Structure formats: structure tokens, C-alpha cells
Structure 1
Amino acid sequence: MTLAIEEISKSLRERYARLKDENPKARIRNLAQKMSVSEVELVAANCGDIRSTPLRGPAQDIFKELGSLGRVMALTRNEWCVHERHGRYEEIRAGKTMGIVLGPDIDLRMFFGDWKTTWAVNDGGRLSIQFFDGAGAAIHKVYVTDESDTAAYQALVEKYAEGAEPWPAVQEAAAPEDSAVTQATPALRSDWLSMKDTHEFHSLLQKHKVARLTALRAVGADLAQEVSNDLAERMLRDVAERDIPFMCFVGNRGMIQIHSGPVKKLMRMGPWFNVLEPHFNLHLDTTAIVSTWVVNKPSKDGWVTSLECFAENGDMIVQFFGARKPGVPELASWRELLVGYCPLPLAA
């Protein structure tokens, strides 16, 4: 390390230690916010019990080798929701701009445009690989567990370890582009009704130059209707009680992580409503939900219904579907549940 970097690191470690003493249960992300720095800078500075190693090369190269670690815990989060899933990285495809993981347990969609740095982190003995964006926010973390191959982890770190110890160049996150159109035209509804696959929805928004919430508000109550903001918690309690398998999508600008299956163990802790299964944890800050929608899309397999929760800035917090695969109709039990939440009929 150069002298300047060492001085910066020392200052961050001292500030972090004081703040951690005052907030012993606070996560590194929250402490970074309180310190007005990025999480990756605290990792690079080895704050607290962290001992970090920068990894060189494209994140895609490292990602393609995560399967060697065996069973791990994958973590993706945004400001308001944390998604943790145990399993193996299987069927990994990582291209220049996009990637996908299609294992039965770890199910991911990667968008590599803003992936900037990768770090191996030993936090008091807890080992992980962590991927960060240009603003220094964590995109995705892969944690070694008792079921993981620790030797394979060490081999991966040694293979990609950076010779020097560069200080991460952090830039302020770019503001999302404002959609050019604040009101949707009638053509949006006709194009919506013409969809054959739910994956066409992103292209639909791009074609009409509208934000997601603008589209939901404009398309008609039979295709999208706003419901109570307590519905995410109610829905999770209902699917647990009725044993309905569902899909839960949580993402940020670089990653979407998906759980599929039933859940049973639910627990409220302050503002956070939690799913606490051995293989799947969800931590949802329900106080951050300012808009909740039941969304109804046509497909060649029939209607597909989702529950979507949004934050004050318009970002999606979490999205839920009934568990399904392409080519298979939506679960009747899921559809019945969501239709029952709607004050007005959905198109069918």
C-alpha cells in the first residue's frame, strides 16, 4: 500500500471501530451509509475483523468457477430487501453483458454492465467472494458454509489474487434515466394484451418509453391494480398456511436472485418481515413499501399473475409469482389467492 492509501485505510478503520462499538448489530452496508463512504472502501480498508484480497480479471471469469465451491450461500439485496439462498452454482453462463445461473437452488440473472471489483473477504473467519459495482455497493456475495469446499475457495482466491492492492475507484451512482413519457398511450394496453411471454415485458416498457409504475397505473385495473401495502406480509402468511410454492425475485442494478418453492417459518422482527427456512431467508422491510400491485400478464401458457412492491423512488423492492416453469400454466392455487386480494376483477 502507498502511504496515502494506508492513511485513508487507518482513518476508516478507526471511524468504523467507533461506530461499530455504538451500533454492534449494524451491518457493514448500514455503517458505510452512516460514514458517507461506500461498502467496498470499508472492505478494502480491512475494517473491523475483515481481511480482504482484491481479485483481478473480469467478474465473469470468477463467476464461472463458483460451482467448484460446492454448496454455498448466495446473497443478493437492495436497500429494502435481502435474499439469501443455499445451494450450488450450476449451469453457469456468463457473457460479456449478461449471465444466468439455472441450478435447482441457485437461480440468478446477472447484468454485468456495472460490475467493477471483486474481493475475497475473510470477516472474522467467515469466508466469501463479494462483487461490487462502480459506486462501491455490493451486487452479490457468495458465502462459504460448513457444506462448502474450503480448499476450492482458497484455490480460487490464489488463482485470481491481485498482486498489488489497488484502492477501489468509486464513482457516484448514476441516476436512473427518466422515462421520456409520463403518460402511456392506448397502444400500451394493446401491446400488453399481445404478449406471449412475461419476459417480453421489459421490451414493452422500452418500446413505450415508460417506467414500470407508469405502465401499471395506465394499463387498466384488469391488468394491474394497486392493493394494500400490507399485502406482501399477508401473502407470505397465506402461502405458508396453504403450502403454495411460489417464486420470489429480489434484485439490484446488477443482479436478480430467485427462490422457488414453499415456505413455512415466518417471523416479524421490528420493521422486517422474515422468511427463515434452512435453505432460504428473506428479510423484507415492509415499512419501505409505498406501492403494491397485483399484475396480470398474458402468455402462451395462460395468464401469469404477480405481486410487486415498490419503494418511494419507484424502484421495485420485491416481486412474487406462483412457482412455474415455461410451458406450464400458472398454479391455480396462486391465481386464486391473488385474485382474492383484488377489489376489481382481473382479465381472464
Structure 2
Amino acid sequence: MSTLVNKLKEKWEALKTENPHLRIRNAAAELGVSEAELLLTNVGDEVTILKPECADILSEVEKLGKVMALTRNEECVHERKGTYLNGDFSSSHALLFVGEDIDLRIFLHHWKFAFAVVEGDRRSIQFFGKDGLALHKIYLTKDSNEEAFDNLVSRFKAENQEEAFVFETAAPKETEKPDSEIDAEGFRKSWLELKDTHEFFMMTRKFGVSRTQALRLAPEGYAKKIDSSKVVNILEDASEKNLPIMIFVGNRGVIQIHTGEIHKTMWHQQWFNVLDPDFNLHLDVTKIAEVWIVKKPTEDGEVTAIEVFNKEGDFIVQIFGKRKPGIPELQEWKDLVADLEK
């Protein structure tokens, strides 16, 4: 272990002594390093470096059985239990897992490092970006296949467990163009001609608009900014009415989706939480800058979303009524959203 890694390990140990319940992501932020750099201080103990063959590793995770998939950004944590089913690795754009429980869109070109982590009786496979930022984690549950985990780690264990990792600085965010430089009329026309919600992202790329800029320039009646507190209202109302919804949370490497009802909701300090047996959500409401009601035309009729952003204009969470292609949006969801607009 290098001198620098040793010094970082000492700092982390001191921090854990001061605050035993401090999570590794918060510890990394406090120490001014990435989470992956902290994991490297425990290689040979709790941590095993895996070969960076992320797609091959993902192709094996179905064998783990029921696990907990965790995807987060700075403001929101999405945890869903289930089995990784129906893996589709055929697309060059995104890998897919499309199961009733584990539902993921994976952008593998952002994935760089993989580790197996054993903390007491907690076992996980963790994936990180080029800058050491955690993108996705898979935790074993009491119903998981531990033998399959051991076999996976053995198969993908990197030969060099003392590798000196090089982390890249995250690419700077693209500067938003002035509204005056956007073909706003063409953009609005293109919006009204949408046939599928998945076309929306490519439309924003075509016209060179950021996501929040797109909402500002939307056709009349298709995007409305609402009070930030109302994202909690929509979740609480959906819970009270047993209304099935879809909750999307992601980062640059993956989008994780929960589809179904939510039940137990509660506050803890600034965090609004969903705490159901197979689905947990943790939303830091103090970091919400904007909330929008967004409507998009599709071949199945209009689709309505609640879109939540941080102060940098990045997605925090997106909420829809439960729907499948070919099926119109639930009227109960439309009514719930309409109540927010009043």
C-alpha cells in the first residue's frame, strides 16, 4: 500500500472514530476524495478489486438471486429489491434489465471500476465511474445466493490487487446556450410532433437545449413550474390512494426505475422517505431547486411527468403514473397532477 493510501486510510479511520455512523460517500466528501479512493484503502481486507469487465459481471448477477439494487445521485437514493432478469446487452447505447422489480437503463461508457465489498455480513458488488464516483451498487439480501457471490468474485478478481488507480476529473458541464440562439419555434413544433417519450432526449440534443431550458421554451400548456414542496404532496397522495406510479432516479451511468404502489412514507430531518419492504426512496428536499409538470404527446395519448431538478439543472427524480407502451395514461394519475396545478 502506497504512502498516500496509508495516509488516507489513517484519516478515514480517525473520521470513523469521531463519527461511527458516517457513510462512506459523506466521508469521501469530507476528506476531499472519491468514494472509490476510500475503498482502495481497504483492499485485501474488506475490498477486492474486480476486473473492469462490467458488462460480463452484470451478465452474471441474475445468479445472485434476490438482491438490493442501489442507484443514487447527490440528492436522492433509490433502493429496489428483486432479481436482475431479462438482461439485454444488444444495444450500443444502453444495457437493459427489464424485470417487474429490477428495471435499469445502463450507460456503460461511463462505467470504469468494479469492486466486491464485504463489511461484516453485508456483501456487495459496486461500480464506479472514471472519476471514482459511485454509479451503482448491488447488495446481497438474506434471500441471495452467497455461493454465487463467491464464485463471481473468484472469477472476476483482478490479478493485481495493488494496482495504482488513476482517476479522471469529471468533464465540465456544457454551458447552456442563450434562449435567443435557440430555434424556439422549431423546437416547439418538434415537441408537439412527439410520438414517444423516449424521443424527448434526442429532441433536446437536436436543438441544443438543456433540460430545464427545454421546459422554459415548451409549447403553451406543456410545462408548468410548481412549488418545490409539491413533489412530496404527489408521493403522499399516491400513497394514500394506492395509486401505482413510476419513480426514476439516476446519474450519468444508470437510471433505476420503481413501478408500483408506495405505502409507508415518513420524514427524517430534511429527508422525505418511502420505506416499503422491497422499495426505499430517500429524497433530500433541501436540494430541490425546481419542480415541473411536463406533458408530452405520444401515440398512446398525452403522458404527464413530475420532473425534479437541483440548482445545476440536473435531474433528481422523475415521477409518472404507471403505464406500458400501447396503454393510455391512468386517469387517476392525471387527476392527481391536475390537483397540483390548482
One-letter code aligned to 1:141 = K
Deviates more, 1:110-119 or 1:73-82: 110-119
- In the alignment, structure 1 segments of 5+ residues that lack a partner are 344-348
How far residue 112 of structure 1 moved from its aligned partner, in angstroms, is 1.0
Aligned equivalents of 1:298, 1:172: Cα separation in 2:
39
Number of the residue aligned with 1:79: 74
Aligned equivalents of 1:196, 1:50: Cα separation in 2:
52
One-letter code aligned to 2:260 = G
One-letter code aligned to 1:64 = S
Number of the residue aligned with 1:98: 94
One-letter code aligned to 1:168 = F
- Correspondence list, 1:8-87, <5 A: 8-46=4-42, 51-87=46-82
> Is the counterpart of residue 177 in structure 1 residue 174 in structure 2?
yes
How far residue 340 of structure 1 moved from its aligned partner, in angstroms, is 1.8
Number of the residue aligned with 1:290: 289
Aligned equivalents of 1:181, 1:145: Cα separation in 2:
49
Number of the residue aligned with 2:299: 300
One-letter code aligned to 2:62 = G
Q: Is the 8 A contact 2:191 2:219 kept in 1?
A: no
Tell me which of 116, 122, 126 is aligned to 2:122.
Answer: 126
Aligned equivalents of 1:220, 1:199: Cα separation in 2:
18
Q: Are the structure 2 counterparts of residues 50 and 77 from structure 1 closer, same or farther at C-alpha, using a change threshold of 3 Å?
A: farther
Aligned equivalents of 1:234, 1:168: Cα separation in 2:
44
Q: Is the 8 A contact 1:117 1:168 kept in 2?
A: no
Deviates more, 1:54-63 or 1:138-147: 54-63
Q: Is the 8 A contact 1:108 1:257 kept in 2?
A: yes
Which SS does the other structure have where 1:141 is aligned? strand
Q: Deviations over 1:99-157 (max 9, x none)?
A: 01001100000001121111011122310000000110110000011000000000000
Aligned equivalents of 1:179, 1:46: Cα separation in 2:
41
Q: Is the 8 A contact 2:68 2:81 kept in 1?
A: yes
Deviates more, 1:162-171 or 1:59-68: 162-171
Q: Deviations over 1:195-231 (max 9, x none)?
A: 0100000011011100010010111451000001001
Which SS does the other structure have where 2:179 is aligned? coil
Aligned equivalents of 1:191, 1:261: Cα separation in 2:
31
Q: Is the 8 A contact 2:52 2:112 kept in 1?
A: no
Q: Are the structure 2 counterparts of residues 54 and 97 from structure 1 closer, same or farther at C-alpha, using a change threshold of 3 Å?
A: farther
Q: Is the 8 A contact 1:64 1:93 kept in 2?
A: no
Number of the residue aligned with 1:206: 205
Q: Is the 8 A contact 2:113 2:129 kept in 1?
A: yes
- Correspondence list, 1:109-188, <5 A: 109-165=105-161, 166-180=163-177, 182-183=179-180, 184=182, 185-188=184-187
- In the alignment, structure 2 segments of 5+ residues that lack a partner are none
Which SS does the other structure have where 2:29 is aligned? helix
Q: Is the 8 A contact 2:242 2:261 kept in 1?
A: yes
Aligned residues: 338
Aligned equivalents of 1:306, 1:144: Cα separation in 2:
32
Aligned equivalents of 1:261, 1:220: Cα separation in 2:
31
Which SS does the other structure have where 2:109 is aligned? helix
Q: Are the structure 2 counterparts of residues 90 and 181 from structure 1 closer, same or farther at C-alpha, using a change threshold of 3 Å?
A: farther
Deviates more, 1:166-175 or 1:312-321: 166-175
Which SS does the other structure have where 1:198 is aligned? coil
Aligned equivalents of 1:221, 1:44: Cα separation in 2:
52
CA RMSD of aligned residues (A): 1.5
How far residue 97 of structure 1 moved from its aligned partner, in angstroms, is 4.6
Which stretches of structure 1, 4 residues or more, deviate above 4 A after TM superposition?
none
> Is the counterpart of residue 334 in structure 1 residue 336 in structure 2?
no
Aligned equivalents of 1:168, 1:80: Cα separation in 2:
27
Q: Deviations over 1:153-210 (max 9, x none)?
A: 0000000101112132111111122244535411111110100100000011011100
Which SS does the other structure have where 1:121 is aligned? strand
Aligned equivalents of 1:127, 1:169: Cα separation in 2:
25
Q: Is the 8 A contact 2:79 2:280 kept in 1?
A: yes
Provide the TM-score with structure 1 as the length reference.
Answer: 0.94
Which SS does the other structure have where 2:300 is aligned? coil
- Identity %, equivalent residues: 43
Q: Is the 8 A contact 1:9 1:46 kept in 2?
A: no
Aligned equivalents of 2:67, 2:2: Cα separation in 1:
33
Deviates more, 1:53-62 or 1:209-218: 53-62
Q: Are the structure 2 counterparts of residues 293 and 50 from structure 1 closer, same or farther at C-alpha, using a change threshold of 3 Å?
A: farther
